[in-house]
Amino acid sequence: MMSKDSGVSVLIRTRNMEKHFRRLLRELSRQTLEPSEIIVVDNFSSRGELENVKEALSDAKEKYFDDRIPVRLIPISDTEFSHPYSTNIGVSVTKNELICITNGHCLPISNSWLESGVQHFRNPSVAGICGFFISHADGGVWEKFIYGLVWPRVNWARDACNRNDYFSTVNCIIRKSRWKEYPFDESLTVTLPGAKTYGGEDYDWAREMVARGYKVIVEPKFNVYHSHGISLLEMTAMNWKWYRIRREINSFKRPRKSFTRVSV
């Protein structure tokens, strides 16, 4: 049976009409712990794509959700978009203390996915939890190999969990009260060889929570299916980039203050 009052908001970020978006909505309706609201922040590239998102939400409302579960769409333009801004604007309108954040091309690994993440918040010192991701069936060969076989088995990946050295808004749950203390930093830039780049605001948020005495947990039962079909070369470049970003974020003096354009 699904709980009728979970007190958990689900925030989904989309761009264009995500391939797995409709199925994600269906899977959320089957969770053992029912969301009490669904917020979709859509960074649309055309009016037609936005209409597709609206249609998918309307269908899901009719087929899966009743009037007890409000569904809200917040479109933002390409000129407004950044990953931390789209997350912050979605979090700001949620009505619950616990907020599950994911992407429109992700899928939960089980019907108890949401419940597996929420149960950690019985501990008041937990600020956030997250999971890893597993390649979709149509993902790239190297994504399947590394995310499905290598990551779960190698020591450095397990150590990253134990050291709280991993956090991603691809799939996480956070406390809104902790977010109010420190929203995702929209001004965050880190210096890589030859350039500055934006990114790492989710990891930065987790490091700030730990610095303030809170806990951040990695829960394998909260994993999602998530992939982009990228090559080994692209994966290597991406992971090297994120290694450098995490290393620079770890050098920040804390506690620090973040910036957002959103009213907290």
In a domain, 130, yes or no: yes
Split into its structural domains, the chain has a count of 1
* 49-68 tens-digit pLDDT: 888 888 999 999 999 988 88
Residue 220 covered by a domain: yes
25 in a domain, yes or no?
A: yes
3 part of a folded domain: no
| Burial track 189-228 (b if 16+ CB lie within 10 A, e otherwise) | ebeeeeeeeebbbbbbbbbbbbeeebbbbbbeebbbbbbe
121 within some domain: yes
CATH number for the domain including 63? 3.90.550.10
Q: Is the dihedral of CA 54, 24, 12, 134 positive or negative?
A: negative
Residue 73: per-residue pLDDT: 94
Query: Does a structural domain hold residue 216?
Result: yes
Range of the domain at 188: 8-249
The verdict on residue 255 lying in a domain is no
Can you list the residues of the chain whose pLDDT is less than 70? 1-6, 17-18, 45, 142, 145-165, 190-198
pLDDT for 136: 80
Q: What is the pTM of this model?
A: 0.89
**Does residue 106 lie in a domain region?**
yes
